[in-house]
Amino acid sequence: MPRGPRGHFLLGSGPDFGRDQLSFYAACARQYGDLVPIRLGPRRALLVYHPDAIEEVLVARNRDFVKSPGVRLLLRRLIGNGLFLSEGGFWLRQRRLVQPAFHRQRVAAYAEVMTAYTARRLAEWKDGDVLDVHAEMMTLTQIIVAKTLFDADVSDESYNIARTSNILAEDFGHRIKSIIQFLPDWVPTPANLRTARALRHLDQVVYRMVDARRRTGEDRGDLLSILLQAQDADDGSQMSNEQVRDEVMTLFMAGHETTAVTLSWTWYLLAQYPEVDARLADELRTVLGDRPPTVADLPRLTYADMIISESMRLYPPAYVLARQAVNPTEVAGHPLAPGLVVIMPAWVVHRDPRWFEDPETFRPERWANDLARRLPRFAYLPFGGGPRQCIGNAFATMEAVLILATIAQRFRLTMEPGQRVTPTPYITLRPEPGPRMRLARR
């Protein structure tokens, strides 16, 4: 396969990008080290694995980069010019606008919705039931993000939204695999038509939410009201319906699948490591007894928090970050011409034995005594970093811990036999197939 650190990778021998993206990234790091120039079809790219070099891209030299063309291509139709994909002055304005919805106190106020909706869902779970845990987590996090940020109830819609999201994820998954050659969106293949239908459906859900709020003109103080009322400081214009749609869709999509994936992998891991599960149950008994967790309990749910950190280390939902240089720049002394794509695979960085002892093992205890502070800053980057860091970081961490605690207080989940669950790169790193797990009341 490859010809050396400055050579070109020929796809097709060794782990192949199209067939097994994760193994491809790992093999390149093993063979060539921290900086690996490659060619993917017509594009040149640089794989970057060293935390200091990643910091250079995301923080020190962030102005020299924009989101990568691959990410733009994959996501543009879904989330348009919302916060995740916008750039420059426009991005900054929107980020400042959306930020108040994620202030610490505001996020704390969402805790009650998170536990109440989890408890409501749990009321339907019975001892001995077997369920697809990933589908369950997707539904739950969808309902929570819609309720907390847009005060919208999508419980009745959730089945349809889940189906639609799945169609989209599958479509994007195929595109990721065939990133080198695929037909443009507008070619009416059955897959493109199916995707277009799915997108129209999601659009309808979002526009219904926006229209209903515009009609009442009510200020509920939530994110949707903020978006609808925001006025441009220069000309007083309001955000267009399309821009509101893009921001809502961005937050809805970015805000549920990532957390759902984190939780799905967490249940999967807990089932493989019963001693971790038992220690979690102990903590929940000691801190909470029988009552539901609240935001005030979070500082004492330290083991639950470490479990979530460790789960995101082994299975980072955002398994790779990517940027494209827009100015002549450099990374770790390696010159980059405009147009070059930089790929930073968190999947490999998080399993690097230089930073994590016994890296393949699920060991939440490793996070005790402030491991995060002792690591190089970008050895662990589930939420990215620099100005484009995840805006929902605190929201997601709190949500994951609260859902984990609320469920684990009542149920233990075990894997049904005979399943092989594979980390599969879609937009996020999904467990595939969704693990079928049996519920046992504690």
Interface residue with ligand HEM, options 2, 392, 425, 431 (CB under 6 A):
392
Of 12-20, 175-183, 256-264, 429-437, the window that binds ligand HEM (rule: CB under 6 A) is: 256-264
Interface residue with ligand HEM, options 53, 114, 307, 318 (CB under 6 A):
318
Of 116-124, 258-266, 282-290, 431-439, the window that binds ligand HEM (rule: CB under 6 A) is: 258-266
382 is a contact residue toward ligand HEM (CB under 6 A): yes
Q: Which residue is nearest to ligand HEM (CB)?
A: 392
CB of 238 to ligand HEM, least distance (A): 20
Interatomic CA distance for residues 94 and 90, integer angstroms: 6
Number of chain positions touching ligand HEM (CB under 6 A): 23
* Residue closer to ligand HEM, measured from CB, 11 or 58: 58
Residues 95-154 that bind ligand HEM (CB under 6 A): 95, 145
Interface residue with ligand HEM, options 139, 165, 195, 259 (CB under 6 A):
259
CB of 204 to ligand HEM, least distance (A): 21
Interatomic CA distance for residues 166 and 179, integer angstroms: 19
Give which of 210, 233, 250 is closest to 86, Cα–Cα.
250
* Residue closer to ligand HEM, measured from CB, 66 or 210: 66
CB of 68 to ligand HEM, least distance (A): 8
248 is a contact residue toward ligand HEM (CB under 6 A): no
Interface residue with ligand HEM, options 147, 313, 388, 412 (CB under 6 A):
388
Interface residue with ligand HEM, options 47, 254, 379, 439 (CB under 6 A):
254
Interface residue with ligand HEM, options 21, 164, 195, 262 (CB under 6 A):
262
Give which of 285, 287, 280 is closest to 311, Cα–Cα.
280
* Residue closer to ligand HEM, measured from CB, 317 or 434: 317
384 is a contact residue toward ligand HEM (CB under 6 A): yes
Of 128-136, 165-173, 279-287, 381-389, the window that binds ligand HEM (rule: CB under 6 A) is: 381-389
Of 24-32, 317-325, 358-366, 401-409, the window that binds ligand HEM (rule: CB under 6 A) is: 317-325
The number of C-alpha atoms within 13 Å of 4 and in the hemisphere containing its C-beta is: 1
Interface residue with ligand HEM, options 17, 25, 84, 367 (CB under 6 A):
84
390 is a contact residue toward ligand HEM (CB under 6 A): yes
Interface residue with ligand HEM, options 378, 395, 411, 426 (CB under 6 A):
395
258 is a contact residue toward ligand HEM (CB under 6 A): yes
Of 178-186, 231-239, 276-284, 389-397, the window that binds ligand HEM (rule: CB under 6 A) is: 389-397
* Residue closer to ligand HEM, measured from CB, 7 or 173: 173
391 is a contact residue toward ligand HEM (CB under 6 A): yes
HEC string for the chain: CCCCCCCCCCCCCCCCCCCCHHHHHHHHHHHHCCEEEEEECCEEEEEECCHHHHHHHHHHCHHHEEECHHHHHHHHHHHCCCCCCCCHHHHHHHHHHHHHHHCHHHHHHCHHHHHHHHHHHHCCCCCCCEEEHHHHHHHHHHHHHHHHHHCCCCCCCHHHHHHHHHHHHHHHHHHHHCCCCCCCCCCCCHHHHHHHHHHHHHHHHHHHHHHHHHHHCCCCCCHHHHHHHCECCCCCCECCHHHHHHHHHHHHHHCCHHHHHHHHHHHHHHHHCHHHHHHHHHHHHHHHCCCCCCHHHHHHCHHHHHHHHHHHHHCCCCCCEEEEECCCEEECCEEECCCCEEEECHHHHCCCCCCCCCCCCCCHHHHCCCHHHHCCHHHCCCCCCHHHCCCCHHHHHHHHHHHHHHHHHHEEEEECCCCCCEEEECCCEEEECCCEEEEEEC
Of 129-137, 274-282, 365-373, 379-387, the window that binds ligand HEM (rule: CB under 6 A) is: 379-387
Interatomic CA distance for residues 288 and 301, integer angstroms: 9
Interatomic CA distance for residues 324 and 342, integer angstroms: 6
CA angle 371, 257, 379 (to 5 degrees): 25
* Residue closer to ligand HEM, measured from CB, 150 or 411: 150
70 is a contact residue toward ligand HEM (CB under 6 A): no
Chain residues binding ligand HEM by CB under 6 A are 83-84, 95, 145, 250-251, 254-255, 258-259, 262, 317-318, 321, 382-384, 388, 390-392, 395-396
